[in-house]
Amino acid sequence: MPIRHLFPIALALFACCAAPAPAVMAQTEPGPATKPPAAPDPAVMHPMVFFDAYGEANACGPGCSEWIAAEGKIDSGSAARLQQLLARLRGARPPIFFHSPGGSAIGSISLGEVIRTRKLTVSVGHTIPLNCDRDPKNQNSCDAEIRAGHPVEAKLDLLTAICNSACVYALAGGVIRLIPPWVTLGIHDIGFDPAIAKIRHPSPLAMEVAKAVTHTRLHTYIRRMGIDEGLLAEASATPFTSVGRLMRDDAARFGLDRREFGETVWQFVDKPRPAIIKMFFVRADNGERRYVNAFVSVSCTPWLGGKAVVMLARQRLANDTEAVVGQPAVNIRMNGHDIRLARATSAKLYLWGGQLPLPTFEAVSDEAAVVLPGEELGRQRGPSADVSLAMTGFSAAYAELRKVCAQETAQAKSAQPATGLPPLGLMQEGPGASAMPSLRSNLFADPNIRTGVGPPAALPGWSKDQDGTAWSLMFTPPSSRRQE
């Protein structure tokens, strides 16, 4: 069969779009995990758009405030659109952040080749414009600004970003590839999209030959990008109707990101509860898995006078044991001061927590550091294995948290005398978990967390353990309450 007859079929072979689910997950099991596809999200099913985005200091990492947003579905024209944007940037090479369910396998190869030729850094992140609307039907639409090539003020959301299927191949084109902590990549075999092909009813033989040609091109491309061919073998073994998740161990094994340590800047998040968070990963020494994802967060409790809750959490390991609530404790060092955190229990995470007056953090500068005991992160015992986290972005994020906390604390004080209860709106857990839940619902919405620190005994909704050493918050979300 002439190759020219296979070309439209090959263009219609997609390595994507069966499951555009959030890339950030609290995966607890090592190795690729297979999930059934989720319903497509219309917001990311449009053809990929590239635009110049900028934000506040450190918006896209330490010293980075400008980036290229790559949002949507990869098609045969994606590479050309990126070339047009790069021409307008006149030699500037900001990093690219992908938020994509995937797309055309051939299109991803072309896109990755442009990225490699221009020697660009790539990562995963959802770009959210701040002063315009991504919906083209709305009056204050971003489309006009993007089409004109104007920079768009925006922020990066790593918690809801996706990079599935063909997006992974485009990501492979980066000279530097930075996969954020907790992010997983979605892979599966290529499939056929009749809406793209000019041949609406190709024969089984034509399909088989076109698929073989596309696999060959992907193999050649992957080798040229310096990626282990095991990536393509793993993807080919996963049916197009499913999605396999690449954990950080897999990303390192295939050469997508072999860093032994990585961290985000401190960021303020407002859902499901206002908090500031730093996510990170470290290489472990425990033999079970090579890498462990973790995070440190600071939030406030308006119903307790605005006290700060500090939390250290990581993925669970097979050798973790269920400890007595409150023990063993762990000390972390922030800005030269020791903070003692008590062991807490959670079905999803291994974590510690503690309460401090919120103003404690006012003296913490962006030049300080947080030092964590390495042995609690799957590393060897001793100071040499401890993990030091930068405080970049902390001051700005803390200022946001302090402002929101003051507002909610005032609301809690005005509401509590009438009901005797903390305001319900301040205690609700985050969105329910989906087939592929986001990091937000996994990490911040566990109503069963029990810590060794607690509120006054008179506060309704809290109960004390039988030994009197720990407090537990017993809360039933409204959606699960029995209707009377």
pLDDT in tens, 142-170: 888 888 888 999 999 998 899 999 999 99
Is residue 179 located within the same domain as residue 283? no
**HSE-up (13 A, CA, CB side) for residue 228:** 14
CA distance readout (Å), 408 to 303, 311, 374, 414: 8, 20, 35, 10
Angstrom distance (rounded) from CA 106 to CA 15: 9
CA distance readout (Å), 315 to 26, 257, 347: 7, 19, 11
In a domain, 197, yes or no: yes
Given a contact cutoff of 8 angstroms between Cβ atoms, the answer to whether 257 and 179 are in contact is yes
In a domain, 459, yes or no: yes
In a domain, 59, yes or no: yes
- What's the pLDDT score for residue 338? 87
Is residue 20 located within the same domain as residue 143? yes
Is residue 292 located within the same domain as residue 151? no
Token output for 94: 């900001």
In a domain, 363, yes or no: yes
Is residue 199 located within the same domain as residue 222? yes
> In the chain, how many domains are there?
3
Strand 121-124 versus strand 96-99 pairing type: parallel
**HSE-up (13 A, CA, CB side) for residue 147:** 6
The model's confidence at residue 302, banded by pLDDT at 50, 70 and 90, is confident
Reply yes or no on whether the pLDDT at 258 is more than 60: yes
In a domain, 433, yes or no: no
- Helix 3-11, helix 204-224: angle, nearest 10: 80
- What's the pLDDT score for residue 240? 86
Is residue 25 located within the same domain as residue 172? yes
Query: Which of 403, 425, 447 is the last residue in one of the domains?
Result: 425
Structural domain boundaries, residue 459: 439-480
Q: Does the model's pTM come out above 0.85?
A: no
**Which region holds residue 393: left if phi is over 0, alpha if psi is between -120 and 50, else beta?**
left
Reply yes or no on whether the pLDDT at 412 is more than 90: no
The model's confidence at residue 107, banded by pLDDT at 50, 70 and 90, is very high
- What's the pLDDT score for residue 323? 57
Is residue 103 located within the same domain as residue 152? yes
Query: Which of 254, 281, 315 is the last residue in one of the domains?
Result: 254
More confident residue, 127 or 241: 127
Reply yes or no on whether the pLDDT at 451 is more than 60: no
Give the chain's largest Cα–Cα span.
80
Is residue 94 located within the same domain as residue 170? yes
Is residue 371 located within the same domain as residue 238? no
In a domain, 434, yes or no: no
Is residue 285 located within the same domain as residue 334? yes
Is residue 307 located within the same domain as residue 200? no
In a domain, 431, yes or no: no
Is residue 250 located within the same domain as residue 265? no
Is residue 93 located within the same domain as residue 151? yes
